[in-house]
Amino acid sequence: MKLLAFETSTEACSAALFVDGVKTSVFEHCPQQQAQRILPMIDQLLVAAKIKASELDVIAFGAGPGSFTGIRIAVGVAQGIACAFNIPLLPISTLKIMAETAYLQNTAQYSARHSISLLTALDARMQEIYWAGWQWQENDWVAVINETVALPEQVVLPNAQSGAWLAVGNAWSIYPSLTLRANSLVSMISVDTQTLWPQAEALLNLALADFAAGKALPVQAALPTYLRNNVASPPKAL
């Protein structure tokens, strides 16, 4: 089994490879450099594993939401390799990848995935955020708060009966109003003050499960997730 995964939809760039039970990965925080870095990262992993791209069984990529340019980079690279060698694709939500990344970085505090609920929030520019809430159900991260793009003051926070949540993503530090709302519910929401970026190592875990479940798609069906149609400017007042 050989699976390549990469994520370029934020300020970070990362790639990971699974070859017959062995996982390797590389990660860089490199704003606006993803187009220059992703192919060398992939090549580095393939060379180290002594395999060729043509030997891959499936390719997974972070499908957004996130930076429009970053998403297009991931889609373009995935489609290019997939078309060249007839390899199926697995597009996976960037916010979902953030949830798995958060778990992997907090295993000392949370012994199992079902013991943590996560709020993922990415800056969407134009004073909006990409937002979702996740819980581990039936061996998968399930969006119990649906993925959306909204103003920080408009997002729906969990109710007091839903238990404790860990909040991650750069939107929490960029939009103080969001953090203030969360702090008013201090007993249930803990905001991670260290900016967390989605990582391909986490994407690899999700992709392995999705591939085993038969979720791989042909190239033409593997679509990105933008959430916002207009990426250039906010709507004008009438």
Q: What's the confidence (pLDDT) of residue 160?
A: 64
CB 147 within 8 A of CB 131: yes
Quote the CA–CA distance of 188 and 228 in Å, as a whole number: 30
Lowest mean pLDDT across 138-152, 167-181, 193-207, 217-231: 217-231
Same domain, 99 and 181: yes
- Tell whether 143 is covered by a domain: yes
Please provide the size of the chain in residues.
238
**Torsion angle of alpha carbons 124, 233, 221, 81, nearest 10°?**
-80
- Tell whether 215 is covered by a domain: yes
Same domain, 88 and 202: yes
Instruction: Report which DSSP code applies to 220.
Output: G
Give the Cβ contact number of residue 185 at 10 Å.
13
Same domain, 105 and 180: yes
Same domain, 187 and 106: yes
| Token reading at 199 | 């990582």
pLDDT interval class at 232 (50, 70, 90): very low
pLDDT at 26 over 50: yes
User: Of 170, 164, 100, 179, which is closest to residue 129 (Cα–Cα)?
Assistant: 170
Per-residue pLDDT reduced to its tens digit, 70-106? 999 999 999 999 999 999 999 999 999 999 999 999 9
- Tell whether 234 is covered by a domain: no
Question: The domain containing residue 172 runs over which residues?
Answer: 94-191
Per-residue pLDDT reduced to its tens digit, 146-200? 999 999 999 888 876 677 889 999 999 999 888 888 877 655 678 876 789 999 9
- The answer to pTM > 0.75 is yes
Beta-ladder partners of 194: none
Which residue has 């070859």 as its token pair? 19
- Tell whether 232 is covered by a domain: no
Question: Left, alpha or beta for 3 (phi > 0: left; psi -120 to 50: alpha)?
Answer: beta
pLDDT at 206 over 70: yes
Same domain, 71 and 61: yes
C-alpha gyration radius of the chain? 18
Quote the CA–CA distance of 226 and 205 in Å, as a whole number: 23
Number of domains in the chain: 2
Same domain, 75 and 119: no
Residue scoring higher pLDDT (141 or 111) = 141
Beta-ladder partners of 150: 129
Residue scoring higher pLDDT (236 or 208) = 208
- Tell whether 228 is covered by a domain: no
CATH number of the domain to which 145 belongs? 3.30.420.40
| Token reading at 142 | 């399930």
pLDDT at 134 over 90: yes
Same domain, 69 and 6: yes
Same domain, 106 and 170: yes
- Tell whether 16 is covered by a domain: yes
Same domain, 100 and 82: no
Lowest mean pLDDT across 20-34, 85-99, 142-156, 217-231: 217-231
- Tell whether 79 is covered by a domain: yes
- Tell whether 166 is covered by a domain: yes
Q: What's the confidence (pLDDT) of residue 233?
A: 40
pLDDT at 237 over 80: no
Residues of the chain above pLDDT 70, percent: 93
Same domain, 146 and 212: no
> For 229-236, what is the mean pLDDT?
43
Same domain, 86 and 112: no
pLDDT at 27 over 70: yes
DSSP string, 89-114: EEEE-HHHHHHHHHHHTTTTT-SSGG
Q: What is the β-pairing status of strands 129-136 and 117-123?
A: antiparallel
Same domain, 145 and 184: yes
